[in-house]
Structures are given as structure tokens and as C-alpha cells.
Amino acid sequence: MAGLFFANGALFAGAVPRYPEVKGGLDLSNAAFGAAVAAYGLGALVLGLLAGALVARFGSARVAPVTTVVLAVSVVLIAAAGSWGALVVVLALAGAADSTADLAVNAHGLRVERLRGRPVLNSLHAVWSIGAVAGGAVGAAAAGAGVPLGWHLGAAAVVMAALAVGCSRLLLPGGDRAERDGAAPAALGDEPARSPGARGPRVVGALLVLGVVAAMAQTVEEAGATWGAVYLREELGAPAAVAGLAFIVLQATQTVGRLVGDRAVARFGDRAVARAGASLAGTAMAVALALPAVGTTVAAFGAVGLGIGTLIPASLRTADAVPGLPPGTGLVVVGTVLRLVLLANPVVVGLVADAASVRAGLVVIPAAAALVLLLSASLPPRPRPTS
């Protein structure tokens, strides 16, 4: 299971430090580049709506490795995109594969969590972040060394596809309902999701709010991925290898936050951890944008990663615990809201960047953190003792 999270994190992250090269090679404006990146979200949204049906029909243990291999192939095609239109098609394909793989690995991770009766999803997402750091570090090193984009992405795809195939034999047998009846909800802190009055429109509203919380975390992460290197390179004058540090440091500290996140959530609850993390992320980035410099910006992205680490696992866990829904339904709703928001974000930031600056566009990060603070009541409070 952990290997699939690693591959899912590493594959697309390897291309991120080379975004400035892709953008420059195609001579794209900030708005055009943002629109191309938005195609990734469009592909994720379109197929993401069907991902739940695929997982329900074939099972997460089958869907996860297959779609990871498809993602590996699509990432290689970024190097072959010779025009803006081709880049849009390739990124849409990558988004479609990634969204399905993402739902499948999370559905399987929640099976593991229910089987163990304690939080483990943050740790699995930490492995995803480790994969993202590894992929981003390789990408930054390859960019600094002038390794051709095709060679770099092709080699990474072969390794990660092989890992996905190897992990497929180690996944839990049976369907995705197998552990649901034996779950230990109190240990996972899902009291709001199991409240007897949570039915109909209230369930839909709760899932939508959880989707927005997850979307804000992903918005922050995508801002670092899409615009961090561009901002450091084009507006702060950082060299190519240093420009990639925005994403790498964000992912590294996010990994740390997720590694300690399961213990923190078990002790304090998802709500308190989310509020503390959002406060840290929003404050750090607001200070860095007010005092622009390479060092303070890289440090701020580090604080941002640490702050947002538990938000997506918390939203997914809470949504999956809603009673009366087929397996994966809560995950699909949260994922759909997340992708709808992400579809607009790159375009909006790109338009702001063209009209003012990338620095102005990155104000989206403290704004997203503030929204998480407002909506954090949707997450479970401190869990009850299980003994």
C-alpha cells in the first residue's frame, strides 16, 4: 500500500521543477501556462466522477496499480508536448489517471485504517509526500544538470510503474466493504459523521464543506507546485536548482507533519490539528509575501507544508465515515469539490500574475488558510478514549 502512495506522489512531482522549462520552451504567458495546468484539473474532474464506480466495480486493489501505470505513461508525454494544445491534452490525461489512482489508494488506505482501528491515513499520505519530495528532488537535480526532459521523465516512469506492479500483489484481498462493519469509529474520531440526524441534505452539505477544506489544502499545495518555482525563478532571481526548492521544501515539511499527524490527531482530534496548521501556514506565507526574498520564501513554503499536512486525510476520513453511503461515495464527493476548485485556481493565479505579479497571485495561500479556519468545525473534535 505504501509503495503505491509513494509512486502516486513521485510521478507528477518529478515534472513540477521543470515547469519553467516547459513554459519557456513553448513560449507561454502566465495565463496560458495556468490554463494548461488547469487542464490537469479538468481531466481529474471528468474521470473523478466515474472513479467511485470503477472502484466499486473492480475494487481499489485492482484499480490503484493499473491507474498508477497509466499515470506514469501520461507523465512521460509531457516531454513530447510540442504546443500549448498538446500540453493541455497530456495534462488532462495525467489528471484523469491521477484522480482515479488517488481515490483508489485512499479507499484502500481507509480499509487498512478500519482494519487496524486507529489513524494511519496521515502516515500513508506521508509516504506520498516522501515520494513527492523524491520526485521533486530528482526533477530539480535533472533541471540543474541539464538532463533532457524526456530522458528524466521516462526513467522515472519505468521505475514507478514497476513499483506499482510489484505492490499489487501485497494489497488486501476482498471487496472494499470488507472491514467496514468491524471498524472502530471512536478511535478514529468520527463522532459528527455518525450523528443520528445526519441525513439527506445535511449529509450533502457536510460532504461539500469537507470538500472545500480538502480543496483549500490542495490549493495551497498546487500553488507551491505550479507557481513556487516560477516565482522564485522569474521574480526573485533564484537559479533553476534553487527555484525547485519551493515545492521540495513544502513536500518535505508536509511529510514531517503527516508522520506525526496520526499521533496528534489521536490525541487532539482533527479539528484542533487543522486549526493550528492553518494558522501556521497562513501566517508564514503572509509574512513571506510582505518581505519577499529567496530565503524567507523557501522557509515559508516549509511552514505551509507542515501546516496543511493533515487536512486532506482528515477530510477523507470524515467523509468516508458517513453512514449509509456506498464505499467510496464520500471520497468521490470530496474529490469532486476539490477538483472543481482546482480547475479555476491555476487560471485565476495566472491572470493575476499577468495583471500584477506571481507574488500577488500567491496571496491565494493565506486566503485558503483563513477559509480552513472558518470551516474547521466540520472536522471531528478530540476523539473519545477507546479503553
pTM above 0.85, yes or no: no
- Better-scored residue on pLDDT, 53 or 154: 154
- CA 46 to CA 44: how far, in whole Å? 6
Average pLDDT over residues 20-46: 84
> Tens digit of pLDDT for each residue in 44-58?
878 777 777 788 788
> Which of 13-27, 30-44, 142-156, 321-335 bottoms out in mean pLDDT, i.e. has the lowest?
321-335
Higher pLDDT, 343 or 156: 156
Domain ranges of the chain: 2-171+194-378
pLDDT at 344 over 50: yes
pLDDT of 366 reads 94
Spell out the CATH class of 2-171+194-378: mainly alpha
Q: Tell whether the model's pLDDT for residue 42 goes beyond 50.
A: yes
